[in-house]
């Protein structure tokens, strides 16, 4: 069971990383560091991703139908 949980967490992290990177980082790497806009976008994206994942987990755990 712990191994499945770890696989799920790794997959979730990889999907979140890919999604937020594609959404927030320009494909034309102009600088070696993230600029302020990219950094803010990634921060918001990760926060929302974890929040939604948590909500979905709670809904699935409680057996309640989605709103």
CA distance 15 to 6: 14
| pTM listed for this prediction | 0.75
First to last CA, the chain: 30
The CATH number of whichever domain residue 30 belongs to comes to: 1.10.287.810
* pLDDT, tens digit (0-9, with 9 covering 90-100), for 7-61: 988 999 999 999 999 999 988 888 889 999 999 999 999 999 999 988 988 888 8
Residue 19 lies in a domain: yes
Residue 53 lies in a domain: yes
Judge whether 67 lies within some domain.
no
Count of domains for the chain: 1
Residue 39 domain boundaries: 1-62
50 within some domain: yes
């Amino acid at each position: 069971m712990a191994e499945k949980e770890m696989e799920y967490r790794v997959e979730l992290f990889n999907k979140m990383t890919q999604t937020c990177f594609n959404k927030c980082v320009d494909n034309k790497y102009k600088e070696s560091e993230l600029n302020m806009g990219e950094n803010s976008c990634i921060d918001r994206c990760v926060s929302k991703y974890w929040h939604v994942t948590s909500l979905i987990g709670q809904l699935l755990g409680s057996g309640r139908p989605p709103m």
